[in-house]
Amino acid sequence: MAEESVSAAWRCAQQERVEQALSAWVSADAPAGLGEAMRYAVLDGGKRLRPLLTLAVSEAVEGAPEAAMRAACALELIHAYSLVHDDMPCMDNDVLRRGKPTVHVAFGEAQALLAGDALQALAFELLVPEDGSVVPAMSAQLCRQLACAAGAAGMAGGQAIDLASVGTALDRAGLENMHRCKTGALLQASVMMGAATGECDAQALRSLREYGGVLGLAFQVVDDILDVTTDSATLGKTAGKDAASDKPTFVSLMGLASAQSCADELLAQAHQALRQSGLAQTENLHALADWVGRRAS
């Protein structure tokens, strides 16, 4: 098999494992339809980029597999809850996500709100298994990393900046800051939580942090490019929304060609960071960077 097929096969195998783990951990048992709404929000969709990053880094640092899968799924639950809340009428008011009606369309607004809330709690619950299959000190560190990335200094803060930025003249630094919080923090945490499942020297940690940071930004630049170049059916969500809602994007700020160069440059930095990490097994991390940079949806 060519190198690219090998990494694609790894990716598919891991996506399958993540799907099974999520299906086992997000139970339908939650009362009064809540469990169904939670499963609807989480299962059968998404690229699982955050879990893949965590699992690939954990492999690279020879981390604990159980901790890695729990961290991977916890990150995906946080991501999923943020989409549920972000799609609600008082936020982006979106009706389509991963090619399906959004959670509030399918289950009502109140249930969507609660499903998001419960998914966030479940993310932390996953990190501290009752059976002791994750060392308590590792559980504690993973909880801290996830909480910091999800909270006011990370994802939630980035969404607040996003809300406040509609119709304003955010410059490139402002736009980067917003995305560094809104999506970057959780993507970087996906990398660093993978690292926390194993042993890692300071140089490797620095390099992985750099990799996670530039990859997060590259992800967003590509997102902005796809928003104007791709249709809703391919994206699985409403295309052209940013322009329609007058939100600043990398494309609106620097034009399509420069945005593409910027994405290429960030990808090159991601690969460079991995080469400087001193880690041996980084093929899947290199491949994930290319996957992020060259994706079509």
Task: List contacts with its own copies (CB under 8 A).
Answer: 27, 29-35, 38, 81-82, 85, 88-91, 108-111, 113-114, 116-118, 120-125, 127-128, 130, 136-137, 139-141, 143-144, 146-148, 150-154, 156-161, 163-165, 181
Distance separating alpha carbons of residues 226 and 220, to the nearest angstrom: 10
Nearer to its own copies (CB atom), residue 167 or residue 255: 167
Distance separating alpha carbons of residues 142 and 195, to the nearest angstrom: 10
Backbone angles phi, psi at 225, to 5 degrees: -65, -45
What is the nearest approach in angstroms of its own copies to the Cβ of residue 245?
Answer: 13
Nearer to its own copies (CB atom), residue 34 or residue 228: 34
Please give, one letter per residue, the 3-state secondary structure of 99-152.
CEECHHHHHCHHHHHHHHHHHHHHHHHHHCCCCCCCCHHHHHHHHHHHHHHHCC
What is the nearest approach in angstroms of its own copies to the Cβ of residue 159?
Answer: 6
What is the nearest approach in angstroms of its own copies to the Cβ of residue 232?
Answer: 23
Nearer to its own copies (CB atom), residue 164 or residue 233: 164
The count of other CB atoms within 10 Å of the CB of residue 236 is 16
Residue 105 in contact with residue 95, Cβ under 8 Å? yes
Nearer to its own copies (CB atom), residue 59 or residue 162: 162
Residue 101 in contact with residue 95, Cβ under 8 Å? yes
Distance separating alpha carbons of residues 214 and 289, to the nearest angstrom: 10
What is the nearest approach in angstroms of its own copies to the Cβ of residue 28?
Answer: 10
What is the nearest approach in angstroms of its own copies to the Cβ of residue 40?
Answer: 13
Nearer to its own copies (CB atom), residue 124 or residue 291: 124
Residue 228, exposed/middle/buried by CB under 10 A (0-12, 13-18, 19+)? middle
Q: How many CA atoms lie within 13 A of 167 on its CB side?
A: 2
Backbone angles phi, psi at 96, to 5 degrees: -130, 130
- Run of H or E including 96: strand 96-97
Nearer to its own copies (CB atom), residue 72 or residue 263: 72
Nearer to its own copies (CB atom), residue 91 or residue 253: 91
What is the nearest approach in angstroms of its own copies to the Cβ of residue 47?
Answer: 22
Give the strand pairing for 96-97 and 100-101. Answer: antiparallel
What is the nearest approach in angstroms of its own copies to the Cβ of residue 195?
Answer: 17
